[in-house]
Amino acid sequence: MHMITKKITKIFTILFIGLSFSLGCSKSYEKNLINDDTDTDIFSITEAKNWFLSNSDKIKINSINGTKVQAIKIKSFSVNWDKAIFGSDDKYSVVECTLHFDFYPGFNIFNKGNTPSVDKINGITRLIILKDKKNGKKQSILMHLFSTSSKIDESITYFNRDKQFSGHVFFTDLKGNFINGWIYENGKIIKASKKILLTNNIVFKSNSIRTTLANDVCSTYEISWYERDCVEYYSGNVVCGPWNYIGSTFQTYCVSDGGGGGGGGGYQPPVDPVTDPCSDAQSAANVVTSLSQNNNYINAKSIIQTSNPNIEQNVTFGKDANGNITSSIITSCNSSSSCAVNTNWPGAFSDLHNHPDLLPPSPGDIYNLIGVNNNHIGYNTRIVVTPDGTVFALDILDLAMANTFKATYPPVNIGYVPEFPSEIFDKFHDVRSAFILQGFSNLVSEERAMSYILDKFKTGISLLKQDTNGNFKRLITNENLSNGNTTYSTNNCQ
């Protein structure tokens, strides 16, 4: 009898512990927001953890048991699996985990051009593991929260946005590369990130951009990234050091009617408005081709080409009140201080200068044009003519992307000349030398290397070249990997 009682007690104890354990682990949150009743393929925390740990090498980041890996923006972190929560919407099963960072990330997000207030820096970053309900494909991303009121509610999750929440929710890959984002005001989505092409039928108005194509009102936001060291004591107190600025990315947000996953504001990979790089740049190419047929352009180019070939001369093109193309006086670049382009020319939208060497647009031309375009909306084209009469044009297709490129790969100064940082310089050299070794001229090798770099490093800028018919066409250089060898080939737009 005593033995039976003992056994029953043992069974009940085991059952009780098991039940407590399963209830404790499942910590289902905001039950009313989770559609977990009909889904037969529930994504368990254990499955998410196993997948993440077994793929940590491939996704170049570690979990709590792995080796720590440094990333560009996001430093190494550890995952609190025991505090993971799960949920699902119609597209994804989602596991969400809080994180421990070596350096905790924080943000300050503001309309580009505004001066940020340092006391606004705040942020929460969490790991999100998604399982596609259709194909079972898993992926890990980071969700970042930023409150415009400086105080952020820790209870905000992937599925649950506080009704009072005003701020940003945005998603990046594990290295910090932007995927998509939402802007909230009092718990409602007011804007969504959007990839737009600045040359697609756009009317500019002050600092905002109106795309007549989609009839959206969009504006560029600067996301300033910070990090700080925090120490968590056993008492639960957390003491943090000062925020250190680590860089900025730029994103375009447009007025939104809501959408996204899990009650709005979820992961939503951006769809390129145009996926064909030739169509992408066609509008820009048409504008430059049209400019090149204008008498003001033809006269200015002729004067520049017949002037001292060893000195750079430049001219700015603008539009008057009637939309007619105008040109500034031609200035000579014969000292480091006299090389600035005339950005104050009324209606300025483009400039032209010669290169004394047989070289396409330089890194300096690229970085400078990004700066000019930021200060003069619509001024997004730079034309270069070489001694043999070859004409190139740089055209900024996506200023937000160009700004992110510049912030990620800031120029290095060799003397007073801006150059690519070594990572890009090295790649540029490899592509250029590959074509030189194939017997191509320095100019052709340089133009191909430059077009490759502009695409590879996601500059949002296209390199165009004028063909024998006078039309500007985008240059495209592809990298091909075969049997461990890297080769480069051209696929220029026709």
Partner 1 sequence: MVIQHILQTIVNNIKHQIMKPIKLTLILIALFTTVCCKSQQLIKTEKDAHKIKENEKQFINKPLKDLLKEIKPQIKRVFGNPIKNSYETVGYFMFNFVDLQQYDSLKVNKKTPVTIVVYVKEYFDWDFHKRPKGKETVWTKDDAHKYENLTVVGFRVYGDTTIAN
Q: Could you say which of 49, 126, 161, 355 contacts partner 1 (CB under 8 A)?
A: 355
Q: Tell me, what DSSP letter sits at residue 81? A: G
Q: Does 419 bind partner 1 (CB under 8 A)?
A: yes
Using CB under 8 A as the binding rule, the residues of this chain from 287 to 316 that contact partner 1 are: 310-312
State yes or no: residue 389 binds partner 1 (CB under 8 A): no
Out of 228, 333, 390, 407, point to the residue binding partner 1 (CB under 8 A): 333
Indicate whether 236 belongs to the interface with partner 1 (CB under 8 A): no
Q: Which is nearer to partner 1, 162 or 419 (CB)?
A: 419
347 vs 356, beta carbon nearer partner 1: 356
Query: Binding residue for partner 1 (CB under 8 A) from 415, 468, 469, 494?
Result: 415
Binding partner 1 by CB under 8 A: which of 8, 42, 203, 417?
Answer: 417
Which of the stretches 123-131, 187-195, 222-230, 413-421 binds partner 1 when contact is defined by CB under 8 A?
413-421
Gap between the Cα atoms of 328 and 309, Å rounded? 20
How buried is 268 (Cβ within 10 angstroms: 0-12 exposed, 13-18 middle, 19+ buried)? middle
Contact 330, 413 (CB under 8 A): no
Min CB(345)–partner 1 separation in Å: 21
**Is the distance from CB of 463 to CB of 493 less than 8 angstroms?**
no
- Which helix (H) or strand (E) covers residue 107, if one does? strand 104-111
In angstroms, what is the minimal distance from the CB of 467 to partner 1?
Answer: 25
By CB under 8 A, residue 103 contacts partner 1: no
Residue 330 engages partner 1 in binding (rule: CB under 8 A): no
Site pattern 438..467 for partner 1 (x: CB under 8 A): -x-xx-------------------------
Assign 3-class secondary structure to 184-251: EECCEEEEEECCCCCCCCEEEECCEEEECCCCEEEEEEEEEEEEECEEECCCCCEEECCCEEEEEEEE
Rounded to a whole number of angstroms, the CA Rg of the chain reads 27
Q: What are phi and psi of 60, to 5 degrees?
A: 55, 35
DSSP-derived secondary structure letter, 83: G
Binding segment for partner 1 (CB under 8 A), chosen from 57-65, 97-105, 434-442, 467-475, is 434-442
Q: Under rule CB under 8 A, how many of the chain's residues touch partner 1?
A: 33
Q: Which of 155, 324, 426, 438 binds partner 1 (CB under 8 A)?
A: 426
CA dist 170 and 194 (Å) reads 12
Q: Are strands 381-385 and 350-354 parallel, antiparallel or unpaired?
A: parallel
The residue (of 4 and 437) whose beta carbon lies closer to partner 1 is 437
CB 351, min distance to partner 1, A = 14
To partner 1, the closest distance from the beta carbon of 58 in angstroms equals 16
Does position 111 interact with partner 1 (CB under 8 A)? The reply is no
- Minimum CB distance to partner 1 smaller for 165 or for 367: 367
Give the 3-state secondary structure of residue 474: strand
Among 125, 121, 49, 135, which residue's Cα sits nearest to residue 84? 49
Are the C-beta atoms of 349 and 379 separated by less than 8 Å?
yes
In the complex with partner 1, the residue whose CB is nearer, 158 or 435, is 435
* Smallest separation (angstroms) from partner 1 to the CB of 435: 11
Nearer to partner 1, 150 or 310 (CB): 310
Amino acid identity for residue 316 in this structure: T
59 touches partner 1 (CB under 8 A): no
Of the candidates 251, 270, 274, 329, the residue with the CA atom closest to the CA atom of residue 296: 329
Residue whose C-alpha is closest to residue 382's, from 366, 358, 398, 397: 366
Select the span of 45-53, 290-298, 320-328, 335-343 touching partner 1 (CB under 8 A).
335-343
Pairing mode, strands 391-396 and 461-466: antiparallel
Cα–Cα distance, 473 to 75 (Å, whole number): 41
- Which C-beta is closer to partner 1: that of 172 or that of 386? 386
Inter-residue contact 161 to 183 (CB < 8 Å):
no
Q: What is the dihedral of CA 11, 12, 13, 14, to 10 degrees?
A: 50
The one among 364, 371, 407, 467 contacting partner 1 by CB under 8 A: 364
Closest CB to partner 1 among residues 274, 333: 333
Q: Which of 429, 456, 457, 492 binds partner 1 (CB under 8 A)?
A: 429
Nearer to partner 1, 81 or 409 (CB): 409
| Backbone torsions φ then ψ of 305, nearest 5 degrees | -75, -20
* The only residue of 70, 486, 489, 491 in contact with partner 1, by rule CB under 8 A: 486
- Region of 315 (left: φ > 0; alpha: ψ -120 to 50; beta: rest) is beta
Which residues are at the interface with partner 1 (CB under 8 A)? 310-312, 333-336, 339, 355-357, 359, 362-364, 412, 414-415, 417, 419, 422, 425-426, 429-430, 433, 436, 439, 441-442, 484-486
